[in-house]
Chains A and B, each alone.
Chain A
Amino acid sequence: MDAPAPSEGVCFHEAAVVVPPDPGAVPGSAEARERTILHPCTLTLRERRVAVIGANGSGKSTLLRLINGLSRPSAGAVTVHGLDTVRDVHAVRRRVGFLFTDPLAQLIMPIVVEDVELSLKATHRERAARRQAALEALARFGLEHLAARSVYDLSGGERQLVALVSVLAAGQQVLVADEPTTLLDLRNTAKLRRVFEGLPQQVIYATHDLDFAAEADRVLVVDEGRIVFDGEARAAIDAYRRLALGGGT
């Protein structure tokens, strides 16, 4: 494979996702047919902050999951820094961290520092060094005081921040986040947004929070598996409002 080039950003080349018919569906119903949940799209994302907005079921998660190879495109290709998300999936995942909506779905080990260490297993073979690196990763976000705590005893906001540390611990250069604030209260949402603002990584996130989306440098509006608007935040949010509340684009 060619040397990865961060300047190439995240690219979709006619990437589409088609799901096979549901074998148990009633013949003739929508589920009994092959369904395109993402129509072929071509994009290059180089902006530091990219938001994806759209209705429930419009295809935001589908789009995001393509970026680190959690889903494969049925047609076309997706590349990150020139690396193909199917062929070079391991290399891609070392560059792209993926943050879920529910941090509990993401945290594997019961103690905070152990969970961060899990992400570092591949890069730090030696135990003491791994522990040290995990503590440093927590300290970068001011979370060192949580190191010995159980992930089950943390508040939702703390959990989401710990998940973020775990996801970025191995030095990932791109963060993909699927509705990271949906389960958080107002205060924790504000906190996570501030943390996102300070991240040196490129961040691509889906959200239903339009204020959060407004902070992005570029916003994609997704509707029924198509990118129907792509551009500056204000205009994108207006387009989404018109779309959602009637009146057409």
Chain B
Amino acid sequence: MRGHVYQLGLLIPGASPIHRAPLWLKYAALSALCITVLVERTAWIAAGALATTVLLFALAGRRVLALWPRPFRSLGWLFALLAAHQWWLNGFDTAVGVVGGMVACLQAARLVLLTTPQSELLDGLVRVARPLRWVRCDPETFALTIAVMLRSIPAVAGSIRDVSDAAAARGLRPNPALLAGPVVVATVDFAHRTGDALAARGVMDQSEFR
């Protein structure tokens, strides 16, 4: 597998008020925004929520703001389809309310990811997962599992691209039936190598230190 550059919301380092805000505040604001747009599904509320996300992105700096439109590139057609469907079923106001609200939630969640180092997100997760100790599950291991899972998403997406490229290079038209086998094999191989990497670094042995 080659190096795959794209990632989920990856941190854009900075020192803006958004970057410096404590994690609990980010989560609280994110929840407040999502609950509001879910409860009040009207065009005005959605428009307000969207405008708020633009404002907050701007507050986080120019590089972060430049990433605001990013989801529309890949998911734009999905939003359009949903909006058309809602318009037809429930009218314009609800369509804007539902789809606009959804986009606002997505953007707010992205903003948290873009302005918080993953280690901080994971530490937050460790705190939240602390009660898991009661069922003899180590919160650190739990957070590491999430980190490994997040890391595997671009890797699997990348292997799909690699296999399609390989098929195309032989003049085959890539289709799901053709790709499934090799992609599963590449994914299992990736999982093996990740396991090796964790073992080689002794990362999973930490619990014995406590």
| Interfacial residues, chain A to chain B (CB-CB below 8 A) | 68-70, 90, 93-94, 97-98, 100, 102, 104-106, 108-111, 114, 117-119, 121-123, 127, 148, 150, 152-153, 156, 159, 166-167, 170
Contacts and interface: CB of A to CB of B under 8 A. Distances in A.
A108 B203 contact: yes
B123 interface: yes
A17 to B, nearest CB: 16
A104 B190 CA distance: 11
A93 B118 contact: no
Contacts of B165: none
Nearest to B148: A108
Interface in B45-70: none
Given A119-B203, A122-B205, A167-B201, A109 B13 contact: no
A114 B3 contact: no
Contacts, number: 94
B197 A105 contact: yes
Contacts of A117: 119
A70 B203 contact: no
B117 interface: yes
B134 interface: no
Closest 4 CB pairs of A and B: A93-B202, A98-B200, A114-B119, A90-B205
5 contacts: A93-B201, A97-B201, A100-B196, A122-B209, A127-B123
A111 B118 contact: yes
Contact of A110 (B3, B151, B209): B151
A166 B151 CA distance: 17
A114 B198 contact: no
Contacts of A118: 201, 203
B36 interface: no
A109 B3 CA distance: 14
A170 B202 contact: yes
Given A68-B200, A93-B199, A111 B140 contact: no
Contacts of A123: 209
A134 to B, nearest CB: 10
B119 A94 contact: no
A100 to B, nearest CB: 7
Contacts of A152: 3-7, 10, 154
Given A100-B197, A156-B3, A110 B202 contact: no
A148 B5 CA distance: 16
A110 B201 contact: no
Interface string B1-35: 10111110011010000000000000000000000
Contacts of B10: 110, 150, 152
B202 A70 contact: no
Nearest to B118: A110
Given A108-B148, A108-B203, A90 B198 contact: no
A121 B206 contact: yes
Contact of B202 (A94, A102, A111, A153): A94
Contacts of A69: 199
A105 B202 contact: no
B127 interface: no
Interface string B179-197: 0000000000010011011
Given A90-B202, A122-B206, 6 more contacts: A93-B201, A97-B200, A111-B119, A122-B209, A152-B4, A152-B5
Contacts of A150: 7, 10-11
B166 interface: no
B205 A93 contact: yes
B148 A70 contact: no
A152 to B, nearest CB: 5
Contact of A108 (B6, B140, B198): B198
B147 interface: yes
A110 B205 contact: no
A144 to B, nearest CB: 14
B197 A109 contact: no
Interface in B71-119: 117-119
